[in-house]
Structure 1
Amino acid sequence: MNAPITPVAPGDQIIPGWLKIFWLYLMLAPALIWGWSSLSGPRSLASVLLTVVTVGLGHSIGLHRGIIHRSYRCSRITRGVLAYLFVHTGLGGPLSWIRVHYFRDYWQNRLDCPAFFRYDHSIGRDYYWNLHFTLKPADIGRYEIPAEDLHDPWLLFLEKTWFLHVLAAAGLIWAFFGFEAMIVCVPLRISVTIMGHWVVGFISHKYGYARYDIDDAAEHGYNNWVLGALSFGEGFHNNHHAHPSSAKMSTAWYELDLGWYLVASLRALGLVWDVQVQGEAPTQRERAKTRLFRWHWPWQD
């Protein structure tokens, strides 16, 4: 598999991500073969609840808003539990996702953003690039990833073993609830999560409405009501680009950020505190400027 030819920093390389390629199709194959025939009301409900716990609490709240953006403070136990829930999204290792986020954030907030991190290409190319390749930096220090994250013992352990935890869960579900339950709750759920995360990321960088411009940035993101509601607020991406440290990704009453309700619930339980919220704390990026709505839809391409 040849890597896409795209300019990056001197010494950086775009290389095939063989583990994520293997994992993607390991999940997709059984989901496509047995997924539909294995569906039932109780199994679907169990899969949805697992998605809320893993994607909502683990990915959106724990890894993205908590560890990466420091949108709140919490104990190391809470941080560790949320990181473990992220592992069961099936998206990959937590440190890999932390690194990728810092790589993207660094380049997308520059005008010389390489093609690999821009979204001025087709959905087919983005599927090929985003789900099959990864950046290998020559100097990871350029991306200013906190050392406390890169060298966190728990995150390092999960990074090395994440797939074993997912496969162990699949085995336990198969043993106690049967093959069909395992198919729905593991490969089908994970396939939807991986593909859903990619689709939300692609669309929310290309189509929707934006109320913020960011000076000297290649990517500003867009907001989408439907994707925002379905993705625990992650689809309100223009808001997030402008307010990266806000635990609340919605900025208007008509934007439903289910992830914010999860954060508020954790705060009510005393599990998180010092929660950063746009409008109540200085969460706005210095280069972000509010403007009248700017819309972009597929028929405008």
Structure 2
Amino acid sequence: MNDTNQLNTASGSRWLAVLRWFDSGQTQPVTETGERRIDWLRTIPFIALHVAVLGVFWTGVSPVAVAIAFALYALRMFAITGFYHRYFSHRAFKTSRTTQLIFAVLGASAVQRGPLWWAGHHRQHHARSDRPQDVHSPRQQGFWWSHHGWFLSQTNFATPDERIRDFARYPELRFLDRFDALVPLLLMAALYLLGEMLAADAPGLGTDGLQMVMWGFVISTVVLYHVTFTINSVAHRIGQRAFPTGDDSRNNWVLALLTFGEGWHNNHHYYPGSARQGFHWWQIDLTYYLLRLLAWTGLIWDLRPVPQRIIHGADTMPVGRRQTRE
């Protein structure tokens, strides 16, 4: 009887893991033994996406497919850095409910889970940065776990609701968070239809549906993944420290270029509430420039600046109090 119950439990867990590919609202209790255990069945889509990159040898390449890949990398990177991070995580500016939803959808297309899950875990990171409770600290958990192992574990699957109650009151955001695979699937379908349409109407472009999915979604997403993940891993290991933050955050100009300004990570940990992470004119912050453009159009407003006392090196507020307040 005990063996039968164990088999039924194991079978139920496997089906639950598969169900969570499509409905992340399906959760189960997590035991302490699962803290550092990767949920391999649930992470099959993540692994499959990386393996699928090899399909480029069959689909080939065309200038239009590469252009779409770059465009979707840039658009989704900005949705992650400008809205998932600076808006949903830190409330560094204000916007309307409509604009909030539009960029939440664009962020969801980056396949980095929903906005509530992303922002909730990021807030936890700032509250515990590089301490034992920080789930993606290279110092505490190791480089590869901080890079991608942490979000593949069962323990970190659920959205930390207590950290994100301010945005959890919006049902549309809760929907995106629960059904986080929906937008990526729709993006793949749209790219396939675009490629087939171009193949029929403009065969000289040398593309088709599968090639457009390969470059516009598979390759673009995998590159976007690992560039984004470097902020948790590399930016806590390699770079310069301009401010004493009490953690291992670094400023890394290479990562700043690749991530549209997120590489000024030590700046950000010193004053996380600002819409601007490149504190000086020579610290290129593409996300901030694009946010300024959106502010000019009226789509967003009240961008929180970096205080002049920080820029000029006269800040005397303790780091702990500053991070709590901001």
Question: How high is the TM-score relative to the length of structure 1?
Answer: 0.80
- Contact in 1 for aligned 2:119/2:164 (Cα 8 Å): no
Partner in structure 2 of residue 79 of structure 1: 100
Per mean C-alpha deviation after superposition, the further-off stretch among 165-174 and 112-121 is: 112-121
- Contact in 2 for aligned 1:38/1:181 (Cα 8 Å): no
- Contact in 1 for aligned 2:38/2:152 (Cα 8 Å): yes
Match of 1:180 among 208, 211, 217: 211
Q: Work out the percentage of aligned pairs sharing the same amino acid.
A: 22
> What pairs up with 1:213-224 in 2 under 5 angstroms?
213-214=244-245, 217=246, 219-224=247-252
Aligned residues: 272
> What pairs up with 1:1-301 in 2 under 5 angstroms?
14=35, 16-17=38-39, 21-34=43-56, 38-56=60-78, 58-108=79-129, 112-114=131-133, 116-120=135-139, 122-127=142-147, 129-133=149-153, 135-136=155-156, 145-177=163-195, 178-214=209-245, 217=246, 219-279=247-307, 286-288=317-319
- Alpha carbons of structure 1 residues 100 and 35: separation in structure 2 relative to 1, 3 Å: farther
Per mean C-alpha deviation after superposition, the further-off stretch among 24-33 and 78-87 is: 24-33
Partner in structure 1 of residue 13 of structure 2: none
- Contact in 2 for aligned 1:119/1:205 (Cα 8 Å): yes
Per mean C-alpha deviation after superposition, the further-off stretch among 59-68 and 171-180 is: 171-180
- Contact in 1 for aligned 2:138/2:145 (Cα 8 Å): no
Quick one: distance in 2 between partners of 1:83 and 1:280?
Answer: 31
Quick one: distance in 2 between partners of 1:169 and 1:279?
Answer: 40
- Contact in 2 for aligned 1:212/1:238 (Cα 8 Å): yes
- Alpha carbons of structure 1 residues 125 and 78: separation in structure 2 relative to 1, 3 Å: closer
Quick one: distance in 1 between partners of 2:319 and 2:112?
Answer: 30
Q: Which has the larger radius of gyration?
A: 2
Quick one: distance in 2 between partners of 1:175 and 1:12?
Answer: 45
- Alpha carbons of structure 1 residues 255 and 201: separation in structure 2 relative to 1, 3 Å: same
Quick one: distance in 1 between partners of 2:271 and 2:306?
Answer: 7
Quick one: distance in 2 between partners of 1:24 and 1:139?
Answer: 18
Quick one: distance in 1 between partners of 2:248 and 2:167?
Answer: 26
- Alpha carbons of structure 1 residues 35 and 253: separation in structure 2 relative to 1, 3 Å: farther
Q: Which amino acid letter does the alignment assign opposite residue 267 of structure 1?
A: A
Where structure 1 has 5 or more consecutive residues not aligned to the other structure, the ranges are 1-9, 290-301
What is the deviation of 1:54?
Answer: 1.5
User: Taking CA–CA contacts closer than 8 Å with sequence separation of 6 or more, which of the two structures ends up with the larger relative contact order?
Assistant: 1
Q: Which amino acid letter does the alignment assign opposite residue 199 of structure 1?
A: T
- Alpha carbons of structure 1 residues 128 and 277: separation in structure 2 relative to 1, 3 Å: closer
Where structure 2 has 5 or more consecutive residues not aligned to the other structure, the ranges are 1-30, 196-208, 321-326
CA RMSD of aligned residues (A): 3.1
What is the deviation of 1:89?
Answer: 1.0
What is the deviation of 1:93?
Answer: 1.8
- Alpha carbons of structure 1 residues 286 and 41: separation in structure 2 relative to 1, 3 Å: farther
Partner in structure 1 of residue 202 of structure 2: none
* Structure with the larger strand share: 1
- Contact in 2 for aligned 1:229/1:255 (Cα 8 Å): no
What is the deviation of 1:200?
Answer: 3.3
What is the deviation of 1:232?
Answer: 1.0
Quick one: distance in 2 between partners of 1:35 and 1:55?
Answer: 26
Quick one: distance in 2 between partners of 1:158 and 1:254?
Answer: 37
- Contact in 2 for aligned 1:91/1:193 (Cα 8 Å): no
